Structure 1
Amino acid sequence: MAALALGLAGTAFVVGPSMTAQAETAQIDMDYRCTRGVAGSTPVNLKVTLALQTALKVREPLDVRWGLAYKDSLNTFLSPGLFPAGARVTATGVVGVLGEMWEGELNSIGSKDEGELDSGGALGLPELVSGSVGTTEPGVWEIEPRNLYIDFTPPASEEVVNDDEAGITYDANWQDSSDRLPYYGDYLRDVHWTKVKDARVDYKFTGTGIDFISEQSTHGGPVRFFVDGKAGIPATADSSKERNGAPVLVEHKGNHNLWSMRGLSYGQHTLTVYNGDDTEAYVDAFRVITEELRDPPQQFRAVCKPVKTPTAIRVVIGGGTGSSPSASVEPSESPDTSASPSVSPTDENPGDESPSPSPSASPSASPSLSATPSPSPSASPSPAAVQTQHYIVTAVVTQGSPSPTATRTVTLTATPSVAQVAITPQGGAQTGEAPERVSFSGMLLIGSGGALLLIGMLSGVAMLRRRAAHSGERG
């Protein structure tokens, strides 16, 4: 009985899914047509390969991958301007995720950095667009391919534009002065200048900031600035004064950054400059700034849609549906101290014996579990030793759900019996077998035998005396 109690006390069982998720991958090819943005005036056709695993274990990421390629190498996305190396093309593939536990969209993103670009030059594509979402519960999802977006992000840059380049418009009050004296230090040794109040110049640029490069001079004066029709920040600057308000002490100092503005949204803007008085004003150059952009400009976005309605892909989370892992409990003959479940030999429910329990699954676990304990020692117990004891066994069942361990309580009925090991007398050789146990029933048997032997001896003496007596009477 003691041996059986120890065996059950050390017994615990762990049940995992009977089927593990297999690396089954679905791959479908689709045609997409792209318009707007960097697609230009002619739609761009793409060949898209969508790949993802259709069987996953819980907590494995669902990774959706898009392979992109031009269907026609002559029909590509186009650079919206002249850019130095560092522009980036970003592709974002969107799939709908439909299921009982979660519904929404999963974005897969990939990017490719470009080299120097000419205006209207072909843009490359990211080779692989990937995105994943964690799985937290078993179930089934339907993955539905949706739109694909192509974005273009210009690189951070700055460019100096000379005063006589195209895109700069002067009214009739300005004069062009070339071959300026070298010690003036003008950019490329030329300027436009005026002495007429309200003389106007306009410059259209694309970027997020602009610098106005002029000359400092004792002959200069105030200049007013407007960006896209609104007063600039700051609204004015004076070429005859230092930034601290002190008057300048030079007649001409070219390539001087007189005024700057930053923080514009990326795109095309117009800078308008007015001479604020009838003093001299100079246009030496403009510096166009593109700051590092956090988000791609929306005007460059191309929208790509499937040519045909795609078929949804079924994804099973949890290694499959309909699996019913089973477990049997075998009493252990030596306690396993490493087992995490706790066992109490207390009979909490006397008379409630259920050799084949069917514990209910937790709400988060889909697969059902049935445990059939079968403690069946092979040795037959003596009738006098038969007793019924109940043991509560707590089993850890790993289902692969968001709650990775679910607790099941099984009530077992056990019939104690003789230990199934050979007995070695105490003091014998260490064979690894169990030592002989001292039993009160053995002592009782020894005492009973001694008593019977003493009674037999006394009975024999009595019989001898009777025979002797009988013999004397006869003589």
Structure 2
Amino acid sequence: MARWTTGLRTAVAVPMLGLLSGALVVLSSGTAAANNAEFVIDYKCTGGMAREGAVRLQTKLSIPTVLSAGDPLSVGWNLAYTGGGTKLSTPEGAASGGKVTVTGNVQLSGAWQGILQPVGAMEQSDDILELPETISDAAQTTRPAKVVLTPQQLFIDYTPPAGEKMVNDDEYDKVKYNGGAEYWEDLSDEPPHQNDYQRDVHRTKKEGASAFMQFSGTGIDYIARRDKDAGKVWFKIDGKAATPAFIDASKEENGEPTNSSTQGGQTLWSFRGLSYGPHTIEVMDDGNDGKWTQLDAFRVITEELASPPHWYRSTCKLISKPVAVEVTIGEGGGSATPTPTVTVSPTSTNTGGTPQPTVTNSATWPLPTCPPTPTPTVTPTPTVTPTATPSSTPTTPKPSPTCTNPPAGGGSTPTPTPTNKSASPTATATTKTTTPKPTATATVTVTPTRATPTTPQVVVTPQGGADTGGGPGERSGLGLVGAGSAMVLGGMLGGVALVRRRAGHARSGE
């Protein structure tokens, strides 16, 4: 009897372990939670650094859809230029380098009202500007709620570097001469010992002659020769008399007349304290002294800025249809069972972009921790008929083992349990006992359940756990369930056959 029971346990336990293994594989590959929504959104950027026309970006937005109170609500964008298109560049008049800052805008509605502003920055080294790969922001959740997040515009700002930039007198795209060559003499290839910047200088004695330059900075320096044959030079900033209004290039800093005629590259006049932005400097001949007014170069000064200039901002608007994402925030500690919903719905029509259809992706949270549990029913009914003397009446035991499934989520291997453990057949020593021939009947029902997936029609890539309608891992998981079921049936039938074979050997050996 003990051997028969052990054989039956083995026959049932082995296939049940196989089924349990297959079910665990299904859990790992086919029941991930839909707790993160990702969308590809196209933007068109204009103004500011978009100097060659509209610049297009293709972004990937990530928003969680299911949280517990106390978890951070994080929003992130991955940014990239659309391949082959134009890129943002250093604004006109600004120094190369600096920093690019990208700010997102996500509106919150529903239980909470507000704005999330993901931000990212990147230092620059060239006139063609690179974007930070990722921008992000987060808000701490404090209570259960349903919040709708709607991504909107992106803003890209440029902060020029602190420093100085030299502009030579012959950079005619920047420096303009009133009267041209008729008023101004251009001296080139001057002797090196005169120290002129890039060995050239412009000069004039014409009354009313002037030179001017537009620049962006917080200050400006005038560079020319200190020369005993030079005279007064007058200055205006943005059309108004500067402070000081003039200098006399024929004098030293202490006011004494100079004896030099070759001290080129001298900083003769400076102006500071400008707010950063576009300005104009004008240099004018005195017109009364008959002496030279000279121009060697300008030095543009930019001090460190607390914030980027607003006129350098590029605004990026959606050209694909807007999306709205509902975020479900449940009770903390994992006790909540919210149903997250991700909805992509057009709220307006934009031209020039690719429309994105409505998609609803729903899943129940938390998802079950165990697969559907098969329910085997085993009812062996052994019959014992001993032959005894009239004075001895054996008691025939009728063990009724039952097989129970492990509890949901795991448990031990099912073990048949006889309902009458104390009963045992008794007979005299002269009695020949017939070995019982048990008859076992096993019924196994495996009914896996699986929600019908909803296939997303835009780029929605859940991370975590809900079925999104695609992926080879799910089909292989279901195959393992079927394989486990077959193993249960085959293993139990093989176990019954083994028990019968052992019984046959026992009878033949008597």
Scaled by the length of structure 1, the TM-score of the pair is: 0.56
Q: Which amino acid aligns with 1:273?
A: V
1:125-162 deviation digits (Å, cap 9, x = unpaired): 22101112233444232211111112233333422222
Offset of residue 85 of structure 1: 5.8
Does the 8 Å contact 1:153/1:295 carry over to 2?
Answer: yes
1:315 maps to which of 296, 309, 327: 327
Does the 8 Å contact 2:52/2:86 carry over to 1?
Answer: no
Q: Which amino acid aligns with 2:148?
A: E
Alignment of 1:350-429 (within 5 A): none
Does the 8 Å contact 2:90/2:96 carry over to 1?
Answer: no
Q: Which amino acid aligns with 1:52?
A: I
Give the aligned partner of residue 294 of structure 1: 306
Does the 8 Å contact 2:76/2:136 carry over to 1?
Answer: yes
Does the 8 Å contact 1:45/1:72 carry over to 2?
Answer: no
CA pair 215-69 structure 1, distance change in 2 beyond 3 A: same
1:302-329 deviation digits (Å, cap 9, x = unpaired): 222222442322223353799689xxxx
Give the aligned partner of residue 251 of structure 2: 241
Offset of residue 187 of structure 1: 2.0
Aligned counterparts of 1:165 and 1:252: Cα–Cα separation in 2? 22
Aligned counterparts of 2:146 and 2:332: Cα–Cα separation in 1? 9
1:87 maps to which of 95, 98, 102: 98
Give the aligned partner of residue 256 of structure 1: 266
Offset of residue 257 of structure 1: 0.4
Aligned counterparts of 2:122 and 2:335: Cα–Cα separation in 1? 44
Give the aligned partner of residue 224 of structure 1: 234
State the SS of the aligned residue for 2:311. Answer: helix
Give the aligned partner of residue 50 of structure 2: 39
CA pair 322-158 structure 1, distance change in 2 beyond 3 A: closer
Aligned counterparts of 1:113 and 1:177: Cα–Cα separation in 2? 40
1:185 maps to which of 192, 195, 199: 195
Alignment of 1:55-454 (within 5 A): 55-81=66-92, 86-100=97-111, 102-117=112-127, 121=128, 123-166=129-172, 167-170=174-177, 171=179, 172-276=182-286, 277-278=288-289, 279-319=291-331
Aligned counterparts of 1:257 and 1:225: Cα–Cα separation in 2? 14
Aligned counterparts of 2:38 and 2:199: Cα–Cα separation in 1? 63
State the SS of the aligned residue for 1:155. Answer: coil
Offset of residue 231 of structure 1: 1.8
CA pair 41-178 structure 1, distance change in 2 beyond 3 A: closer
Aligned counterparts of 2:250 and 2:39: Cα–Cα separation in 1? 69
Does the 8 Å contact 1:161/1:285 carry over to 2?
Answer: yes
1:48 aligns with 2:59: yes
Percent pairwise identity: 43
Give the aligned partner of residue 12 of structure 1: none
Aligned residues: 299
Offset of residue 258 of structure 1: 0.9
Does the 8 Å contact 1:242/1:248 carry over to 2?
Answer: yes
Does the 8 Å contact 2:68/2:333 carry over to 1?
Answer: no
RMSD: 3.1
Aligned counterparts of 1:85 and 1:195: Cα–Cα separation in 2? 36
State the SS of the aligned residue for 2:104. Answer: strand
Offset of residue 96 of structure 1: 0.6
Query: For structure 2, which runs of at least 5 residues remain unmatched after alignment?
Result: 1-32, 338-510
Does the 8 Å contact 1:92/1:148 carry over to 2?
Answer: yes
State the SS of the aligned residue for 1:293. Answer: coil
Greater Rg by CA: 1
Moved over 6 A (4+): none
CA pair 320-25 structure 1, distance change in 2 beyond 3 A: farther
Give the aligned partner of residue 357 of structure 2: none
Does the 8 Å contact 1:84/1:115 carry over to 2?
Answer: no
1:35-81 deviation digits (Å, cap 9, x = unpaired): 23333454333222211323334443322101112333334334445
Offset of residue 195 of structure 1: 3.1
Offset of residue 199 of structure 1: 2.7
Q: Which amino acid aligns with 1:306?
A: L
Aligned counterparts of 1:206 and 1:124: Cα–Cα separation in 2? 22
